[in-house]
């Protein structure tokens, strides 16, 4: 059972005498809870971001099997990012006391809402819950993960909608039900029959759990463990008995009852898909704020109170990672909030509740939510909803740790430390500061407009930019004596438009998203480009001597993304072959690797940066990747054409990083050494090199 604050407060409990003052680069503010894996703390980064830090118990940390699973699951969980899940922000799986940091959001677990704060939720709230959970599972399953432990204590109730926590790390964290051989993982009453039997799992596993969560939210009673029966009894009921959903005309009735019953079907093939659940739940959720007014007021008050929460700086000894003793906290990314008077990019994220007017943007939906809360609650709740970054806390139960959800648009998900980047810290000299235009230097910021996933050069994790380009931008900005600020937009045209529009009002805006630097691209976008790395199509195989040349793939079985353009590239590159290639389209890099390892394909074709990064993250595959030299092209940072001093300063910063070794260090850190260039060439927007 997780620790709870006296009086039912949502905030953290004070640190104890045996608690550390810091874990890694995070200063600890209080205790959130404890569970099977260890202790969970509320922490704050050097840049001010609130995080939840799960610190592994010493006895578990000494078990090689646990540490191996923990390391693998943390890597997997980093892949998940979205509005409805809690992102993994940082971790140290190698230290004597392993830990993982996740984004911190304000709201209690669903179990506590039902048991003590409100009681069962009304039907429209349960439909909205179903909608949010379906979106969360779509994000998780899209990252090739299965949650395996969805339950009321892993669903956080927040003003912004439900949030799912502990995705991807349930197997490593759940010490209460994992046997020493790892044969059973999950929570009785929420595990489907196939999980209890140890059969192959799929997304339908989480759909069963979703149905049990909805039944609990609507009735206040778990459908298989309503009477507190022991675990073996509950497991028997799941395998052999029908769920108890209450009276036909009770709180769980009609279409919602039918949906829950389908989710709890013992045959996984007969359960609805996540997409089906999302569609029907979207239609049934209604237009009002998703939570009852009294609960909304309570959550708003708690969120507002957390804004003032702090802890003494002094305290017990700090826990620093033994892999980097004495390492100072990493330089934080800053949230991309444009300066006053400068327009942010148009938003295009899903709204919540889901049934806003057609075309409603996140900004409009947020405004509507604020009006709903203002109508329902006192001013303090409105204050909490009106915050650009809502801080939400959580306390776990049933053996779970206190959990979290990341702030929308907060600091970047993975903060590169000074050692990894080889760069100077904020307090060191900035040798190129004088090269920046005066206005940029005085503003102290260089804003990077980013869009579109381009893993690993630039991609989105937990709604925030990470990758080689992000690390390079931070190192460049340090050399220039300013702070790197990132503004996320939904596509490249929006990013370009935002950089150009805002640059007209204030210099210091550039655009960066793995843009291929060609004369046509520069002319069409109206940008100058500073080249900072190279990329192109590559060949992945189990032959380290194989060339990366696509033209040499005659007669080979080639697997690649299910993408018409990429397939056309392969076909055109091998058009001269007497023996044609056989194409095997697949949805992901993991599927490509599996096809190669199962001898279903001879080679895989994909971008070098994507293939090399995947192999860097998954050592031991026995595969290598080689870049096709004929396909390698420059990628550039786009600078508005009337900002020549800014463009030249950016180029000088890249060159300095190349000269001092930081550039090579970052390429190695992200596993893409062949993307290196010798110098940051500058090409004009008119197409003149």
Q: What is the pLDDT of residues 193-220, one digit of tens each?
A: 999 988 888 999 999 999 999 999 999 9
pLDDT at residue 308, rounded to an integer: 57
pLDDT at residue 305, rounded to an integer: 65
pLDDT at residue 350, rounded to an integer: 43
Of 621, 631, 630, nearest in space to 671 by CA: 621
* pLDDT single digits (tens) 436-456: 999 999 888 999 998 766 665
Q: 512-526, 544-558, 572-586: lowest mean pLDDT where?
A: 512-526
| Residue pair 442/62 in contact by the 8 Å Cβ criterion | no
pLDDT > 70? residue 10: no
pLDDT > 70? residue 362: no
**Residues 332-358: what's their mean pLDDT?**
40
A 10 A CB-CB count for 577 gives: 15
| Residue pair 2/112 in contact by the 8 Å Cβ criterion | no
% the chain with pLDDT above 90: 33
Alpha carbon distances (Å) from 4 to 10, 475, 635: 8, 42, 51
pLDDT-based confidence at 351, cuts 50/70/90?
low
Q: 114-118, 483-487, 635-639, 682-686: lowest mean pLDDT where?
A: 682-686
Pairwise pLDDT comparison (375 vs 594), residue with the higher score? 594
CA dist., res. 662 & res. 195, Å (int): 47
> Across the strands, what pairs with 175?
none
Task: Please check if 163 is assigned to a binding site.
Answer: no
Note the CATH architecture for domain 6-284. Answer: Orthogonal Bundle (1.10)
456 cis-preceded (ω within 30 degrees of 0): yes
**What's the alpha-carbon Rg for the chain, to the nearest Å?**
26
Of 627, 603, 638, 604, nearest in space to 549 by CA: 627
pLDDT at residue 407, rounded to an integer: 30
Q: 266-270, 306-310, 384-388, 609-613: lowest mean pLDDT where?
A: 384-388
pLDDT at residue 481, rounded to an integer: 92
| Residue pair 82/136 in contact by the 8 Å Cβ criterion | yes
To the query of whether residue 542 is one of the catalytic residues in this protein, the response is: no
* pLDDT single digits (tens) 151-169: 998 899 988 889 888 754 4
Q: What is the mean pLDDT of the chain?
A: 76
Let me know if the fold of 6-284 is the same as that of 441-534+633-683: no
pLDDT at residue 530, rounded to an integer: 94
pLDDT at residue 312, rounded to an integer: 45
pLDDT-based confidence at 586, cuts 50/70/90?
very high
pLDDT-based confidence at 36, cuts 50/70/90?
low
Which pair of tokens denotes residue 634? 């420059």
pLDDT-based confidence at 429, cuts 50/70/90?
low
pLDDT at residue 49, rounded to an integer: 78
**Residues 224-234: what's their mean pLDDT?**
88
pLDDT-based confidence at 598, cuts 50/70/90?
very high
| Residue pair 388/362 in contact by the 8 Å Cβ criterion | no
Whole-model pTM over 0.75: no
| Residue pair 440/482 in contact by the 8 Å Cβ criterion | yes
pLDDT-based confidence at 419, cuts 50/70/90?
very low
The torsion of the CA quartet 188, 193, 197, 201, rounded to 10 degrees, works out to -100
CA dist., res. 106 & res. 8, Å (int): 14
Q: 32-41, 437-446, 500-509: lowest mean pLDDT where?
A: 32-41
CA dist., res. 140 & res. 156, Å (int): 16
47-61, 167-181, 507-521, 642-656: which is most confident: 642-656
> Across the strands, what pairs with 109?
156
pLDDT at residue 438, rounded to an integer: 92
pLDDT > 50? residue 404: no
pLDDT at residue 105, rounded to an integer: 72
- Of 92, 139, 149, 602, the active-site residue reads 149
Half-sphere exposure of 161 (CA within 13 A, CB side): 30
pLDDT > 50? residue 433: yes
Does CATH place domain 537-627 in 3.40.640.10?
no
Residues 6+ apart with CB under 8 A from 147: 137, 140, 154, 164, 166, 167, 168, 170, 205, 206, 209
The domain 441-534+633-683: what is its CATH number?
Answer: 3.40.190.10
pLDDT at residue 473, rounded to an integer: 92
Q: Any idea which residue has 């970054």 for tokens?
A: 389
pLDDT-based confidence at 322, cuts 50/70/90?
very low
Residue ranges of domains in the chain: 6-284, 441-534+633-683, 537-627
Pairwise pLDDT comparison (198 vs 6), residue with the higher score? 198
pLDDT-based confidence at 459, cuts 50/70/90?
low
Alpha carbon distances (Å) from 441 to 62, 444, 475, 507, 682: 50, 5, 16, 10, 22
């Amino acid at each position: 059972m997780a620790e709870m604050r006296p009086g039912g407060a949502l905030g953290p409990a004070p640190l104890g005498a045996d608690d550390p003052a810091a874990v890694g680069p995070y200063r600890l503010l209080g205790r959130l809870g404890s569970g099977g894996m260890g202790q969970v703390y509320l922490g704050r980064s050097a840049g001010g971001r609130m995080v939840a830090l799960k610190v592994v118990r010493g006895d578990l940390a000494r078990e090689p099997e646990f540490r191996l699973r923990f390391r693998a699951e943390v890597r997997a969980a980093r892949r998940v990012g979205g509005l409805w899940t809690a992102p993994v922000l940082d971790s140290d799986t190698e230290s004597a006391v392993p830990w993982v940091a996740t984004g911190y959001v304000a709201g209690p677990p669903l179990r506590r809402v039902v048991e003590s704060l409100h009681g069962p939720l009304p039907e429209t709230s349960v439909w909205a819950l179903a909608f949010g959970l379906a979106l969360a599972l779509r994000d998780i399953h899209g990252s090739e993960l299965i949650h395996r432990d969805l339950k009321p204590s892993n669903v956080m109730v927040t003003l912004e909608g439900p949030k799912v926590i502990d995705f991807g790390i349930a197997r490593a964290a759940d010490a209460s039900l994992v046997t020493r051989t790892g044969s059973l993982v999950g929570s009785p009453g929420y595990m489907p029959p196939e999980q209890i039997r140890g059969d192959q799992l799929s997304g339908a596993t989480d759909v069963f759990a979703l149905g049990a969560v909805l039944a609990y939210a609507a009735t206040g009673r778990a459908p298989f463990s309503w009477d507190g029966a022991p675990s073996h009894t509950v497991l028997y009921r799941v395998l052999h008995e029908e769920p108890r959903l209450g009276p036909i005309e009770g709180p769980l009735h009609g279409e919602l009852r039918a949906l829950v019953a389908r989710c709890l079907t013992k045959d996984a093939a007969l359960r609805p898909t996540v997409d089906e659940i999302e569609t029907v739940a979207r239609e049934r959720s209604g237009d009002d704020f998703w939570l009852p007014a009294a609960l909304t007021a309570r959550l708003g008050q708690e969120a507002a109170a957390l804004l003032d929460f702090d802890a003494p700086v002094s305290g017990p000894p700090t826990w620093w990672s033994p892999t980097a003793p004495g390492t100072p906290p990493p330089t934080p990314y800053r949230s991309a909030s444009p300066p006053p008077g400068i327009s942010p990019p148009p938003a295009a994220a899903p709204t919540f509740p889901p049934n806003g007017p057609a075309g409603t943007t996140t900004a409009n939906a947020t405004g509507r939510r604020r009006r709903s809360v203002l109508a329902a609650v006192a001013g303090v709740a409105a204050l909490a909803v009106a915050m650009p970054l809502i801080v939400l806390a959580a306390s776990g139960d049933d053996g779970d740790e206190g959990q979290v959800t990341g702030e929308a648009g907060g600091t970047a998900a993975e903060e590169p430390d000074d050692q990894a980047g080889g760069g100077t810290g904020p307090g060191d000299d900035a040798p190129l500061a004088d090269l920046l235009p005066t206005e940029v230097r005085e503003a102290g910021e260089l804003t990077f407009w980013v869009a579109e996933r381009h893993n690993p050069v630039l991609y989105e994790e937990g709604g925030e930019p990470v990758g080689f380009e992000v690390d390079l931008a931070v190192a460049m900005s340090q050399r220039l004596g300013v702070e790197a600020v990132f503004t996320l937009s939904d596509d490249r045209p929006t990013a370009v438009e935002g950089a150009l529009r805002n640059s007209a009002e204030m210099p210091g805006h550039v655009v960066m998203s793995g843009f291929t630097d060609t004369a046509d691209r520069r002319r069409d976008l109206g940008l100058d480009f500073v080249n900072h790395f190279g990329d192109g199509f590559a060949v992945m195989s189990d032959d380290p001597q194989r060339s990366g040349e696509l033209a040499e793939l005659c007669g080979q079985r080639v697997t690649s993304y299910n993408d018409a353009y990429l397939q056309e590239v392969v076909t055109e590159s091998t058009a001269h072959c007497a023996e044609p290639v056989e194409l095997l389209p697949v949805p992901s890099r993991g599927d490509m690797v599996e096809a190669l390892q199962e001898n279903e394909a001879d080679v895989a074709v994909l971008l070098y940066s994507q293939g090399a990064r995947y192999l860097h993250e998954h050592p031991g595959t026995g595969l290598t990747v080689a870049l096709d030299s004929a396909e390698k092209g420059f990628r550039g940072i786009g600078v508005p054409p009337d900002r020549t001093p800014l463009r030249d300063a950016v180029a000088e910063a890249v060159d300095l990083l190349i000269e001092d070794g930081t550039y090579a260090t970052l390429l190695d850190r992200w596993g893409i050494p062949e993307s290196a260039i010798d110098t940051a060439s500058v090409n004009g927007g008119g197409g003149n090199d």
